[in-house]
Structure 1
Amino acid sequence: MATTKWAIDPTHSEIGFKVKHMMFTNVSGKFENYDAAIVTDNDDFTKASIEFSADINSIDTHNSDRDNHLKSADFFDAENYPKMTFKASSFTKINGDQYELAGDLSLKGVTQFVKLPAAYSGLMKDPWGNTKVGLTISGKINRKDWGLNWNSALETGGVLVGEEVNLNVELQLLKQS
């Protein structure tokens, strides 16, 4: 069986997240530097080998003080754990273009198994003849499962940073020749 390698098109992709701030608004962020090794049997993503990594020091929430705090030992501890990694164990079709991506997510030296909803666009040709695939990966994780425990109590009750992290990953993959 022929294998196909895929690369992330960074100009059409985003690794994003949202977290509650002060219990009533969301703060959005993303990772600017990331990479993946994706290999499929022919073009079948249900039999794909998928490994992903993101550079923790590339986190961007549009506030340098907050970004620096996130990189500190209070959160990601980028000095000791510079990468976030994901290694897929399955990509399973649920219904239509809806799939489930499952695998091991590693942050701050802790690895947890996660299942994330995904939408798969199928194969498409761009105007220049390149074969592309689009994936939208969403889902929720609890940051405390990875030891990201820092928080601050609010004077009015509640906490400064929510535990639930909403993931919003938009990937456009380019078939390698």
Structure 2
Amino acid sequence: MATTKWIVDPAHSEVQFKVRHLMITTVTGYFEKFNVEVETEGEDFHNTKSIVFTADVNSISTNNEQRDTHLKSADFFDADNHEQIRFEGKDYEELKPGFEKLNGELTIRGTTRPITLNVEYHGTVVDPYGQTKAGFSVEGKINRKEFGLMWDAVTEAGSVVVSDEIRLHCEIQLVKQ
């Protein structure tokens, strides 16, 4: 069977992260520039040969310029030396129809670690322009310190400023090439 290539439709996709701030609220951020490339056998995502996701660290946005600048600094992502975040999918396992686990390797700030993401496949359709598209919701959690994002601060009252756990949420629409 022939290999099918898929690329992200950036107008209909988003990559978000959520982190607890002062342990009382959640701050949401996202990457404005990212790419997803997938290769499958035919159009069957259960026979995936390759999944590669990259995000441009300099495109990070939390709707706060000062915080975004801090996140790009050496305290966090060190964008001057590590321009991209990269995920390579290794194993796509169906749990039940429409729900899968995607195991792979995530690289942040030069550190690569295995992670598992929960994937919900929403189906494949042909849009009004004749393009074949597939939709997914992807969720997971990482510990930022495992990737070298070590900056910490504690308030005078002893509260942690930024949690170690980062929740990931992506809505991805792929276009068949």
Scaled by the length of structure 2, what TM-score is found? 0.97
C-alpha distance after superposition, 1:28-50 (max 9, x if no partner): 00001111221110011122210
How many residues end up aligned between the 2 structures?
176
Pair 1:40 & 2:40 matched? yes
- Secondary structure of the residue aligned to 1:74 is coil
C-alpha distance after superposition, 1:101-148 (max 9, x if no partner): 110000001000001111011211222221110011001111011010
One-letter amino acid of the counterpart of residue 18, structure 2: K
| Cα separation, 2, equivalents of 1:46 and 1:92 | 8
| Cα separation, 1, equivalents of 2:98 and 2:59 | 31
The 4+ residue runs of structure 1 with deviation greater than 2 A are: none
**Which ranges in structure 2 are unaligned for 5 or more consecutive residues?**
none
| Cα separation, 2, equivalents of 1:80 and 1:25 | 30
Pair 1:170 & 2:168 matched? no
Name the counterpart of 2:20: 20
Name the counterpart of 2:83: 82
| Cα separation, 1, equivalents of 2:156 and 2:97 | 48
| Cα separation, 2, equivalents of 1:109 and 1:153 | 26
| Cα separation, 2, equivalents of 1:36 and 1:132 | 13
| Cα separation, 1, equivalents of 2:91 and 2:44 | 12
- Secondary structure of the residue aligned to 1:157 is coil
| Cα separation, 1, equivalents of 2:25 and 2:46 | 37
One-letter amino acid of the counterpart of residue 167, structure 1: L
Scaled by the length of structure 1, what TM-score is found? 0.97
Name the counterpart of 2:130: 129
- Secondary structure of the residue aligned to 2:82 is coil
| Cα separation, 2, equivalents of 1:52 and 1:80 | 19
One-letter amino acid of the counterpart of residue 81, structure 1: H
**1:44-63 correspondence to structure 2 within 5 Å:** 44-48=44-48, 49-63=50-64
Identity of aligned residues (%): 47
